[in-house]
Amino acid sequence: MKLFVFDLDFTIWNAGGTWCDSTHPPFAWKEGKLKDQENRWIYLYPEVKEILSELKAEGHMIAIASRTNAPTIAKQLLHMFEIDHFFDAREIYPGSKLTHFDRIMKELKVAKNDIVFFDDEYRNVEDIRSIGIESVLVTNGLTKDLVKPYLTRTIARDLPQSEAC
């Protein structure tokens, strides 16, 4: 079992080319697209729901570490996208992500070696790497390819037949 920790803006979702703190709620679904009051289209990266389901199916834990200035908006979006139930911990507020991780590790009682973190901002990746946690820079939204190396089942499947047993 591992703990997967994800950032929100530009990792899990794209809030219409900006951060969710710059959107204008309330949000509403229009023709299958989530829009804010300025008709900005906010979307999950295409593989996110599948990734979250797969992690849960493998028995992993999932947490959010977001330093957004608009926690209320972020929580609304988690609800609107119907992904809120996937997360075992949600640390959503401004500040250094070191604080977010400190709280996540205490809450979920997971050791640093069993955690992997995904974020689109290098400063966050750098902060979390500095305390010895595996951290992955996300350049174009979260994808299966980024998560795959950490999925035990996928790794086992990828082994040649002779080595698998």
Q: How far is the CB of 9 from Mg ion (least distance, A)?
A: 4
Say which residue the tokens 């999932």 belong to.
Answer: 62
Among 3, 4, 6, 9, contact with Mg ion (rule: CB under 5 A): 9
Are the C-beta atoms of 44 and 83 separated by less than 8 Å? yes
Sheet holding 33-35, edge to edge: 13-14, 41-44, 33-35, 28-30
- DSSP secondary structure code for residue 148 in this structure: G
Scanning 6-14, 35-43, 54-62, 73-81 for contacts with Mg ion by CB under 5 A, the matching segment is 6-14
Does 91 help bind Mg ion (rule: CB under 5 A)?
no
Active site residue 102: no
**Residue 118 touches Mg ion, criterion: CB under 5 A:** no
Pairing mode, strands 33-35 and 28-30: antiparallel
Q: Which is nearer to Mg ion, 36 or 120 (CB)?
A: 120
Question: With left for phi above 0 and alpha for psi between -120 and 50, is residue 95 left, alpha or beta?
Answer: left
Q: Which stretch binds Mg ion (CB under 5 A): 1-9, 47-55, 74-82, 148-156?
A: 1-9
Number of residues lying near Mg ion (CB under 5 A): 4
Q: Tell which residue, 118, 104, 11, 5, has the closest CA to residue 62.
A: 5
Cβ atoms within 10 Å, residue 25: 15
Q: Which CB sits closer to Mg ion, 71 or 154? A: 71
Give the shortest CB-153-to-Mg ion separation in angstroms: 28
104 touches 87 (CB < 8 A): no
Q: How far is the CB of 119 from Mg ion (least distance, A)?
A: 6
Q: Is 120 in the site for Mg ion (CB under 5 A)?
A: yes
Would you count residue 127 as binding Mg ion (CB under 5 A)? no
Binding residues (CB under 5 A) for Mg ion: these are: 7, 9-10, 120
